Amino acid sequence: MIGEVGVVRLLNRLSLALLLMAGTLVLAGCPTRTSIERINRDPGRYAGREVAIGGRVSNSFGLLGSGVFQVEDGTGQIWVFSQRYGVPSNGAKVGVRGTVSQGFSFGGRSYAVILKETERRR
């Protein structure tokens, strides 16, 4: 028969195991951070794929809830198209996940390579 202390230990171990499994599943679903230089060097390799980048916003403009902003990570810069999250201000530090696209136009400007944002972290 298991005593009260044994039940508490068993529940603690079970809780820890569930927490570790949940953490593993969350991390497995997140793409690893890719340098902007690697994306710009070979955009065809990343076209249509979801990537994660991080850096500081160096330029931005928006129109009616959507817009584009440029992110610099020390290796290069890339434009990010945002439809859901608004446009962060210049100098803001961001982490962005999205799909790489080539040949994109917005607000009368054309962009060779752009990241279509699906998630953002500040």
Residue tagged 């809780």 (tokens): 15
Is the whole-model pTM more than 0.85?
Answer: no
Give CATH for domain 36-121.
2.40.50.140
- Amino acid found at 100: V
pLDDT digits (tens, 9 = 90+) for 62-117: 877 789 999 999 999 999 999 888 899 999 999 999 999 887 776 677 678 889 99
pLDDT of residue 76: 94
* pLDDT band (50, 70, 90) for residue 8: confident
- Residue 62 makes CB contacts below 8 A (sequence gap 6+) with 68, 82, 86, 87
d(CA 81, CA 70): 9
pLDDT greater than 60 at residue 45? yes
Q: What is the pLDDT of residue 61?
A: 87
* 73-79 LR contacts (CB < 8 Å, sep 24+): 73/35, 73/36, 75/35, 75/36, 75/37, 75/38, 76/35, 76/36, 76/37, 76/39, 76/40, 77/36, 78/36, 78/39, 78/40, 78/53, 78/113, 78/114, 78/115, 79/104, 79/111, 79/113, 79/114, 79/115
* Of the candidates 82, 90, 80, the residue with the CA atom closest to the CA atom of residue 66: 82
